[in-house]
Amino acid sequence: MCGIVGIVGQSPVNQSLYDALMVLQHRGQDAAGIVTCEGNKLHLRKDNGLARDVFHTSHMIKLRGNMGIAHVRYPTAGSSSSAEAQPFY
C-alpha cells in the first residue's frame, strides 16, 4: 500500500510533489522520497519517516527541475532500512 505521484510541468515541481505526498501520506508512513530531473541531472532526497520529517527547506531547494516522481512507502517486504526508501535510480 504505497503512494506514488509523478509530475511533468512548465515550472519547478518540487513543492507540488511534496504537497502530493502530504495527501498520499496515509498510503505509507515508513519512508518518503522525491527525485526531480533538471536537464540530464537527477536530484534525490529520501529517508525513513513521514514526509514532513524527511523534507526540510534545505532539501527542497536542492530538488530542482520541471519533472519528478515522489513516493511514500508502506513496507510489505524487505527491511525498514533507509536503503529501502524509494524512488530508486
- Annotated catalytic residues are 2
Q: How far apart, in whole angstroms, are the C-alpha atoms of residue 38 and residue 31?
A: 24
3 state DSSP class of 14: helix
The answer to whether the beta carbons of residues 64 and 10 sit under 8 Å apart is no
CB 57 within 8 A of CB 3: no
